[in-house]
Amino acid sequence: MSESPSKALTEFLQDRVGDHLRSVIFYDDDGGEVRYVRDDVADQYTDDDIEQVVRDVRLEAVEKPHQENLYEHGPLDCTVRSFDDAVEMHFPHDETSGTAVALDGEVFAIHDTFIGQCIDAMDG
């Protein structure tokens, strides 16, 4: 798959969330490319760290057909990981390519979303 969806998503997120965009990585069979990374975020990760992230999302993309067959919900569009300080979104385009995005947690408003309310309910 071409990088066009990743480029369009990067532009959309830069317009929509501005400085709360942490990073965007595109990957395919040929490897991974950081499409965008905020300076303070870049300082936190080595090239090896980025390679490990690309490896992780690539492995997740390989599972896309399995996930789609396992759950009768249609195509898998995105997975979301919510951390205290950031939200990671992975958009697998197919079995070998996709886009991984990180946003500051506050832009996702973790504690004011349904996910945040579920976390609060579990915390009692």
Tell me the pLDDT tens digit for each residue of 71-101. Answer: 999 999 999 998 988 999 999 999 999 999 9
The full set of domains in the chain, from first to last, is 4-123 (3.30.450)
The amino acid that residue 22 corresponds to is: R
Rounded to an integer, the average pLDDT of 55-60 is 93
Residue whose C-alpha is closest to residue 25's, from 16, 15, 17, 13: 13
Tokens read off for 71: 């759950």
The amino acid that residue 3 corresponds to is: E
pLDDT-based confidence at 55, cuts 50/70/90?
A: very high
